[in-house]
Structure 1
Amino acid sequence: MTEPQLLSAFAGHWTGEGTGVTVILPPPGTVGSGEVRGGAPATREFALLEPTRLVDRVDAVVLSGGSAFGLTAADGVMTLLRERGLGFPTPAGPVPIVVGMSIFDGSVATAPPGAGAGRDAAVAALRGDLFSRGTVGAGTGASTGKWRGHPAPGGVGWARGSAGAAQVAVVAVVNAWGDVLGETGRPLFAGPPVTRPHTPLGLENTTIAVVLTDARLTKSDCYLLAQSGHTGFARALHPAHSRFDGDAVVALATGEAGPDVDLDLLRAATTEITADAIRSAV
């Protein structure tokens, strides 16, 4: 992966025909939480991310096309991590904690990505392959502005910034029903005025993101950070969090920067960096 790196995490893509997989592999012991705000999510292990649940670590996040079918890509990542001895320790051996989030793309009707695609994306991450933006990986079949009836480009974007002593990186897969907005608040792609929103199926949309920081945070702190990622969605997407989107954010904290980080400053920075990541996807 070329600079700027996603902090100490590895990230890789598998790109197929009209669909794909993107995998984020944080360092062992990374703390994580997440939140869903869209009305039509396709997710795996999100109940475990709630702050009240026992396990606070996340070993991988798998972003994929193929909607609920594409969640099987996480199986390949889980198997690979088990082979490497990574995961939550149990008497029967380590159990990798692999969170999944999927977007709806054309592969739902053809050949959604499976376990092999997930494994290939994880291997690409570990190999250090170029981590590109645009219509690659999980963003291969993505589009935006579908509420206008004339879809505009979507894809994978990422951005990086800082908040005091802490660093923040965000990866987003943008497949939104609404428009991507520039910093001025106007759509990046002009389209016909919306007098009646276009909803042919009402489910072919979702923006998903992973927020990664080197701050030392609790699981509850990560939950708040995921909420700030959703605020970034609202800055860069309109409409955001609709009934027709599966919008979800996972927030991960590696702890390498230490505990002396202002959480509210970190949350404010995360909002802006998430918006930047969404814009960079298109």
Structure 2
Amino acid sequence: MTVQATRPPARPEPQAPARVRHDGETDWQVAELDLEAYLDRIGYRGPREATGVALAALHRAHTEAIAFENVEVALGRPVPLDLPSLQRKFVRDRRGGYCFEHNLLFAAALERLGFQVERHLARVRRGSTVVRYRAHAFLRVTAQDGLWLADVGFGDEGLIEPIAFEPGAVARCGGWTWRLTDEGEHWVLQALHPDRWFDLYAFRLERHVLPDFEVSNHFTATHPRSTFVGRLIAMRGRPRVRHTLVDRELTTRRCDGREERIELHDDAVVRALRELFGVPVSAEDAHELCQRLPALGTARR
């Protein structure tokens, strides 16, 4: 499984939050990461030099090991972003999460390995140019041999390996293709659909600090208009197949264009979370989810 990047000519319980220093820089609590435990969680045994090759391998290992899921939001619980909470949830409890959680944890691991990382926010498009709030997090990573866009938290259509941070750069992994374009005012990450390039999200290269992430995360986890409030979502993108669970509907898309949708009963939803998405929901959480499933998504239909 490889990435081919064409380079065109240049052009649980809330803990104490990460601290903002007096100079305005954010202390992302990177030193508190148990790097070995994280690498064991994603099954990574590869090189540790801060190179593009190592970045691609780490990125792929993370996306293969940890699912995108919003179980805590579906259960009406807070989603803290401090590193001890992320480490406890993702590493110790072997859970998944959504973009803010995935990419802040991945950023800490990359920095511990010697990469330079910028944490950014983006506006999700999903094929639309309607201007939405900044609901997505991604990373711009400097390796010894280049600059990359890394994003382990977009879900079903997200990157499996990073893409070169250059206008017109293309990345391929398995049966999927992505492109990074520069629209002048915005950069846009796109996925190739059978009929066209499909915008995933757009962003400006603005400096963001922890309070920016906390505000976006709070809206995403609590506001009635958030995509993630009032529904259960789990997603996983692999080199040749993508799985998306929304409430009881499970969609499977293959890179040859085939698509299957099935409606699951409550027990099958829990089984899919555990077996297909690798989310070890407890018996208590499974019971509460099943109690909530009849109402989840109702207001959106």
Both proteins in one fold, TM over 0.5:
no
When Rg is computed on C-alpha atoms for both structures, the one with the higher figure is 2
Q: TM-score, normalised by structure 1?
A: 0.29
Q: TM-score, normalised by structure 2?
A: 0.28
Of the two structures, which has the highest relative contact order with CA contacts closer than 8 Å and spacing of 6 or more?
Answer: 1
